[in-house]
């Protein structure tokens, strides 16, 4: 029942249903209605676990309105006690024990939570590092992960035993089951709480975490010249990943600076030293005087902690040029320089008028694209391959044309799966697809089902073989998909700009139905593209035309490549090195 309720109304409805179960259990306990209590109590417990796993927004909503887990657990425990008292009329001694034992579990839970927070303060995660040897580190002891995870109000979940125990007591007219259940709950809580308490005692007198001073000592010794700074969340870490290889190839002392533990854990493999300092105060206390050039892959608020450093040049390198509004964010004017791929990026800022001076814009190409190959159509060992790589729904849910996935995705995929002669389809959606729009998420899931039903690999980690592929993980990377692609279908996004490097044909979706001349004028990256209208009526002809090698857009793509990505000589990696060298000079 919970899973069928969708959207914000569904979140509220699921929360209301869960609370109703608790209220029914409370009333049934007071009235001694054993079977009503049993059904509603079990439903409430099952609902808790189901919503925790499948509907986190519902749990968040309940917390926001003041009906958090602790209050719900107290309601559950009270209803169990009321049932026993109303059903069996226990003696005064039994009543005292029935009231006292659940309370003891709560006392243990509260103190365990407090001690665990004290332990955390002894062990602040001031910094995380990769590819850096900080030497031996001595820190205060920590409890086992499972004990730390349940310390606090979670530990009171031991009182779940009261529900079945209370039912048995009411049915048998005997207090023994509920007393046994309550005692077992106290014992279980005492084990976890005791472990936390002993850990706290062992760590008394331990000093502050030595990690941050060790990081500073390493920085003083290594003296990095270049910093790639990323303060975004884990879901956006692909934006930093695309700059790792070019930064490695600079052949200068460089470091990656991050601010999110989750993003740090998701960062792709790299030979670069990586430092993550989550707390703003800790980060601002780092001495970064040797850094001459700081590169920013994303516009986020925590960039201010790095931008305040006066002794370096701050450069916005972004995470791909496109005709999207996000590519000309007014925030960009806070940087000393803005680096774009080619003339298209420079003109984009000029048209937008967001305050970025033309003198502060530098064209460096796209050094990430060195591995993107240029080749012809299908080869003997690989069938004609079409890559469908739609962008995500964007920050505004009310823009139905930001992505083709919602309005056109299923038609595109069905058309490609039905193509004769057959083609191989690679479907690689944007990493953020479905995070803002439930409709986009639902269409994505249907597209995956279609590809799976056609014999495709819906969780592909390799592109080998003739099967269709759904690629949603970090590997294979987008550029690996490019190198297997004969025809790209995408939206107005940096995917199109990057694919132009290959000089192979591509299609841009036009779900808004703009006239062709207006569309190409508004979105210059589409000047070398075939356009696809919402009904996808052109798809069959485009596939046949490009597959046959009869491609009238070849010359347009050649001109567009220079406009979007700059000249071939010097190559973009060399231009990147030169500009970094100028700043580090």
Report the distance separating Cα 572 and Cα 568, nearest Å: 7
pLDDT of residue 342 exceeding 80: yes
Q: How much of the chain, in percent, has pLDDT values that exceed 90? A: 76
Q: Are 426 and 392 in contact (CB under 8 A)?
A: no
- Strand, helix or coil at 149? helix
Q: Is beta strand 385-389 parallel, antiparallel or unpaired with respect to 424-427?
A: parallel
In the block, which residue shows the tokens 């209208």? 533
* Helix extents (H) in 32-131: 34-54, 56-64, 69-88, 92-122
Residue 4 pLDDT: 45
Q: Are 212 and 124 in contact (CB under 8 A)?
A: no
Q: Are 423 and 408 in contact (CB under 8 A)?
A: no
Q: Are 502 and 486 in contact (CB under 8 A)?
A: no
Q: Is beta strand 506-510 parallel, antiparallel or unpaired with respect to 424-427?
A: unpaired
pLDDT of residue 382 exceeding 90: no
Q: For residue range 167-192, what is the model confidence (pLDDT) as tens digits?
A: 999 999 999 999 999 999 999 999 99
257, burial (CB in 10 Å: exposed 0-12, middle 13-18, buried 19+) = buried
SS3 content of the chain, % helix, strand, coil (to 5): 55, 10, 35
For CA atoms 259, 264, 267, 270, give the dihedral sign: positive
Residue 1 pLDDT: 42
Across 347-358, average pLDDT: 93
What secondary structure letter does DSSP report for 258? E
In the block, which residue shows the tokens 């926001």? 64
Residue 398 pLDDT: 59
In the block, which residue shows the tokens 């056609």? 454
Q: For residue range 526-577, what is the model confidence (pLDDT) as tens digits?
A: 999 999 999 999 999 999 999 988 889 999 999 999 999 999 899 999 999 9
pLDDT of residue 439 exceeding 70: yes
32, burial (CB in 10 Å: exposed 0-12, middle 13-18, buried 19+) = middle
- 238 is written with which tokens? 């692909």
Q: How much of the chain, in percent, has pLDDT values that exceed 70? A: 95
- Strand, helix or coil at 320? coil
Across 439-455, average pLDDT: 95
Residue 550 pLDDT: 82
Residue 155 pLDDT: 92
Q: Using 50, 70 and 90 to split pLDDT, how confident is the model at 80?
A: very high
Q: Using 50, 70 and 90 to split pLDDT, how confident is the model at 461?
A: confident
Q: For residue range 127-181, what is the model confidence (pLDDT) as tens digits?
A: 999 999 988 766 778 899 899 888 988 999 999 999 999 999 999 999 999 999 9
């Amino acid at each position: 029942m919970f899973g069928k309720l969708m959207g914000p109304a569904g979140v509220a409805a699921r929360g209301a249903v869960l609370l109703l179960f608790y209220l029914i259990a409370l009333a049934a306990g007071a009235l001694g209605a054993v079977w009503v209590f049993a059904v509603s109590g079990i439903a409430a417990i099952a609902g808790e676990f189901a919503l925790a796993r499948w509907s986190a927004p519902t749990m968040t909503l309940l917390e926001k309105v003041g009906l958090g887990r602790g209050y719900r657990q107290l309601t559950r425990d009270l209803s169990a006690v009321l049932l026993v008292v109303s059903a069996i009329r226990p003696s005064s001694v039994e009543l005292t024990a029935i009231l006292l034992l659940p309370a003891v579990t709560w006392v243990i839970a509260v103190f365990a939570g407090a001690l665990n927070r004290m332990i955390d303060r002894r062990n602040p995660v001031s910094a995380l590092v990769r590819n850096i040897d900080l030497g031996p580190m001595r820190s205060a002891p920590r409890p086992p992960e499972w004990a730390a995870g349940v310390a606090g109000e979670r530990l009171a979940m031991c009182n779940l035993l009261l529900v079945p125990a209370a039912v048995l007591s009411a049915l048998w007219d005997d207090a023994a089951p509920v007393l046994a259940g309550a005692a077992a709950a106290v014992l279980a809580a005492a084990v976890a709480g005791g472990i936390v308490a002993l850990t706290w005692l062992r760590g008394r007198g331990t000093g502050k975490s030595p990690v941050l001073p060790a990081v500073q000592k390493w920085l003083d010794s290594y003296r990095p010249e270049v910093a790639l700074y990323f303060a975004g969340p884990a879901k956006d870490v692909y934006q930093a990943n695309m700059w790792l290889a070019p930064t490695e190839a600079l052949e200068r002392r460089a470091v990656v600076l991050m601010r999110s533990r989750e993003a740090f854990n998701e960062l792709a493999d790299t030979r670069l030293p990586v430092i993550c300092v989550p707390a703003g105060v800790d980060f601002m206390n780092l001495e970064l005087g040797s850094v001459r050039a700081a590169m920013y892959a994303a516009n986020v608020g925590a960039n201010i902690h790095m931008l305040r450093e006066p002794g370096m040049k701050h450069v916005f390198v972004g995470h791909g040029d496109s005709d999207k509004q996000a590519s000309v964010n007014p925030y960009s004017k806070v940087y000393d320089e803005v680096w774009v791929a080619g003339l298209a990026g420079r003109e984009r800022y000029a048209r937008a008028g967001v305050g970025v001076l033309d003198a502060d814009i530098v064209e460096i190409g796209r050094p990430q694209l060195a591995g993107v190959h240029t080749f012809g159509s299908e080869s003997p060992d690989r069938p004609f391959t079409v890559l469908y790589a739609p962008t995500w729904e964007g920050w505004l849910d009310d823009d139905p044309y930001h992505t083709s996935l919602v309005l056109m995705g299923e038609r595109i995929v069905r058309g490609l799966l039905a193509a004769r002669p057959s083609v191989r389809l690679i479907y690689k959606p944007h990493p953020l697809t479905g995070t803002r729009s439930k409709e986009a998420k639902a269409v994505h899931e249907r597209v995956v089902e279609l590809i799976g039903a056609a014999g495709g690999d819906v969780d592909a980690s390799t592109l080998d073989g003739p099967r269709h592929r759904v690629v949603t993980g970090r590997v294979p990377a987008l550029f690996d998909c490019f190198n297997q692609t004969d025809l790209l279908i995408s939206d107005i996004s940096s995917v199109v700009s990057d694919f132009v490097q290959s000089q192979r044909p591509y299609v841009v979706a036009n779900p808004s139905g703009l006239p062709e001349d207006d569309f190409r004028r508004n979105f210059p990256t589409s000047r070398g593209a075939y356009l696809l209208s919402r009904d996808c009526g052109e798809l069959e002809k485009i596939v046949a035309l490009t597959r046959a090698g009869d491609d009238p857009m070849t010359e347009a793509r050649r001109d567009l490549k220079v406009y979007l990505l700059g000249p071939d000589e010097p190559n973009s990696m060399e231009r990147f090195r030169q500009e970094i060298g100028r700043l580090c000079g």
